[in-house]
Amino acid sequence: MAVIKISDKKALDELQARLILQLGRKITLQEIIDLCVEFASSNFEEIVAKAANTPRLTKDRAQKIIKNLEQLKGTPYDPKAKLPTKDDEEIYSL
């Protein structure tokens, strides 16, 4: 058995509570995870669409970042500076 860190444990607990009320019996977190994996496998395109909201680094975007980096070589570092572009926010605000 693998150990999995859940980023929103509260949502999982609420789902478990709703399922218990609906089913009229206790359902374990393991059962819920198994059902979610089965559902995701059956609805793969929906999962892909949801995951696609994550920004991707395309070749064009990488070239733009490299070009901007070349232009900024030699610029002194200022820890109080604001990030000037949306690209910077996406890259450095992880």
Residue 83 contacts residue 89 (beta carbons within 8 Å): yes
Per-residue pLDDT tens over the stretch 77-90: 777 777 667 777 66
Q: How far apart are CA 54 and CA 18, in angstroms?
A: 29
Domain boundaries, the chain: 14-51, 57-73+84-94
Please check the confidence at residue 93 and state whether its pLDDT lies above 70.
no
- Measured between alpha carbons, how far is 94 from 66 in angstroms, rounded to an integer? 19
For residue 43, what pLDDT is reported? 95
Question: What's the pLDDT at 15?
Answer: 96
User: Distance of alpha carbon 68 from its chain centroid, rounded?
Assistant: 26
Q: Provide the token pair at 4.
A: 């999995």
Average pLDDT, the chain: 85
The pLDDT tens digits of the residues spanning 2-13 come to 788 888 999 999
pLDDT at 27 over 70: yes
Whether residue 32 contacts residue 19, with contact meaning beta carbons closer than 8 Å, is answered with yes
Residue 67 near residue 87 (C-beta atoms within 8 A)? no
